[in-house]
Amino acid sequence: MGSIQTVLGPAEADSLGHSQIHEHLFVRHTPMADKNPALRMEEEELSLAELKDYRRAGGAFLADAQPVAAGRDALVLERLSRESGVAIMASTGYHLLGFYPESCWVHALDEEGLYRLYRGELEEGMLPWSADPARRPEEVTGVRAGLVKAAIPAEGAVGRYETLLRAAARAAAACGVPLMLHTEKGAHAPEAVRLCFGLGVPPEKLVVCHVDRQAADFAPHEAVARLGVYLDYDTVGRFKYHSDGEEAALLRHMADKGWGDRLLLALDTTAQRLAAYGGEIGLTYILETFLPLLAGAGFTPEERERFTVRNCRRLFAG
Ligand SMILES: [Zn+2]
């Protein structure tokens, strides 16, 4: 198996143990955080304490899903990884537009400009965080992104979102890295996935997130899985949506249907769920609570390892 791009440089995929595919560890201030204080996560010491706990509990790797200019700080992520011993992969790409101040350059670049920017972040280095959203930093850091994040709003990848998605998909295809799609409970996911296929992203490099915020109706899950892409189940421990028992029932159904090789687990953390920030569960929740729950529900050790180790390795380096 090949190597993957972490914030500390290339790492052998085979060396990765327990992995979580979609987390948020440290995020500089964004307009979204004014509306939702759970999105305030800019205490480096707290983020480090959280990661050290994760490492102690057996966590080896995670992907940070906050993209460029949406509060991501590449140099902080590099430091957090070095000091915690957790391998971290950073994201380029874009989030929902509410994460960017109106003056931000993200709103102005055309498809070609966005594509070149995302590709540069994967191949050369990420832009540093900048306190002035209107000014795009000229110098890049020496820290490279390893995946591309894209966001599909509830109305689908239309208007400005289509331009952003096209640029993100082209960059992922050109660099052979995964493209991770934020969705609103899977709304318009199949159309967005097909658009990405048309731009050269293969199904084995596509991850659809948040479909499991709705776990009662299996049909939307099956519709996405039939496209051959990965599903990131990141609503574990998010009780405003449903119980962990319902999450386990969804996993059981999808694995029994033959999609066990396409399921990934994460917590999609905010300050409200990071223990060091006073949150409810902590980054160790999958290791310490959810995997034991799956064991109790009859999932085999091999199945549990697939969801948290093998599928992630294959996605990044298969
Ligand atoms: Zn997220």
Rounded CA separation 211/184 (Å):
7
What predicted TM-score, i.e. pTM, was given to this entire model? 0.97
**DSSP code at position 126:** P
Instruction: Count other Cβ atoms within 10 Å, centred on residue 114.
Output: 23
Q: Exposed, middle or buried, 86 (CB in 10 Å: 0-12/13-18/19+)?
A: buried
pLDDT of residue 204: 98
Give the model's confidence band at 197: pLDDT under 50 very low, under 70 low, under 90 confident, else very high: very high
Kindly give the distance from the C-alpha atom of residue 68 to the centroid of ligand 1, in angstroms, as a whole number: 14
pLDDT of residue 68: 97
β-strand pairing of 87-89 with 59-64: parallel
pLDDT in tens, 55-114: 999 999 999 999 999 999 999 999 999 999 999 999 999 999 999 999 999 999 999 999
In the sheet that 91-93 helps form, which strands lie side by side, from edge to edge? 91-93, 147-151, 179-182, 206-209, 230-233, 263-265
> Residue 218 belongs to a domain with what CATH number?
3.20.20.140
Kindly give the distance from the C-alpha atom of residue 147 to the centroid of ligand 1, in angstroms, as a whole number: 14
Kindly give the distance from the C-alpha atom of residue 116 to the centroid of ligand 1, in angstroms, as a whole number: 24
Domain residues for the domain of 143 are: 3-317
Kindly give the distance from the C-alpha atom of residue 275 to the centroid of ligand 1, in angstroms, as a whole number: 17
Kindly give the distance from the C-alpha atom of residue 22 to the centroid of ligand 1, in angstroms, as a whole number: 6
pLDDT in tens, 137-186: 999 999 999 999 999 999 999 999 999 999 999 999 999 999 999 999 99
Rounded CA separation 205/201 (Å):
7
Kindly give the distance from the C-alpha atom of residue 294 to the centroid of ligand 1, in angstroms, as a whole number: 23
Kindly give the distance from the C-alpha atom of residue 139 to the centroid of ligand 1, in angstroms, as a whole number: 27
Kindly give the distance from the C-alpha atom of residue 216 to the centroid of ligand 1, in angstroms, as a whole number: 21
Kindly give the distance from the C-alpha atom of residue 23 to the centroid of ligand 1, in angstroms, as a whole number: 6
Kindly give the distance from the C-alpha atom of residue 269 to the centroid of ligand 1, in angstroms, as a whole number: 7
String of b and e for 124-151 (b: at least 16 CB within 10 Å)? ebbbbbeeebeebeeebbebbbbbbbbb
Rounded CA separation 168/65 (Å):
14
Domains in the chain: how many in total?
1
Query: For ligand 1, a single-atom ion, which residues have Cβ within 5 Å?
Result: 65, 268
Kindly give the distance from the C-alpha atom of residue 285 to the centroid of ligand 1, in angstroms, as a whole number: 16
Backbone angles phi, psi at 10, to 5 degrees: -65, 145
Kindly give the distance from the C-alpha atom of residue 301 to the centroid of ligand 1, in angstroms, as a whole number: 27
Q: What is the mean pLDDT of the chain?
A: 96
pLDDT of residue 318: 78
CA atoms within 13 A on the CB side of 44: 13
Kindly give the distance from the C-alpha atom of residue 95 to the centroid of ligand 1, in angstroms, as a whole number: 9
Kindly give the distance from the C-alpha atom of residue 268 to the centroid of ligand 1, in angstroms, as a whole number: 5
Kindly give the distance from the C-alpha atom of residue 295 to the centroid of ligand 1, in angstroms, as a whole number: 26
What does R_g of the chain's alpha carbons equal in angstroms? 18
Kindly give the distance from the C-alpha atom of residue 141 to the centroid of ligand 1, in angstroms, as a whole number: 23
Q: With a cut of 80, say whether residue 1 has pLDDT above it.
A: no
Q: With a cut of 90, say whether residue 15 has pLDDT above it.
A: no
Q: Is 21 helix (H, G, I), strand (E, B) or coil?
A: strand
Kindly state the helix (H) or strand (E) to which residue 79 belongs, with its residue range: helix 74-84
Kindly give the distance from the C-alpha atom of residue 238 to the centroid of ligand 1, in angstroms, as a whole number: 13
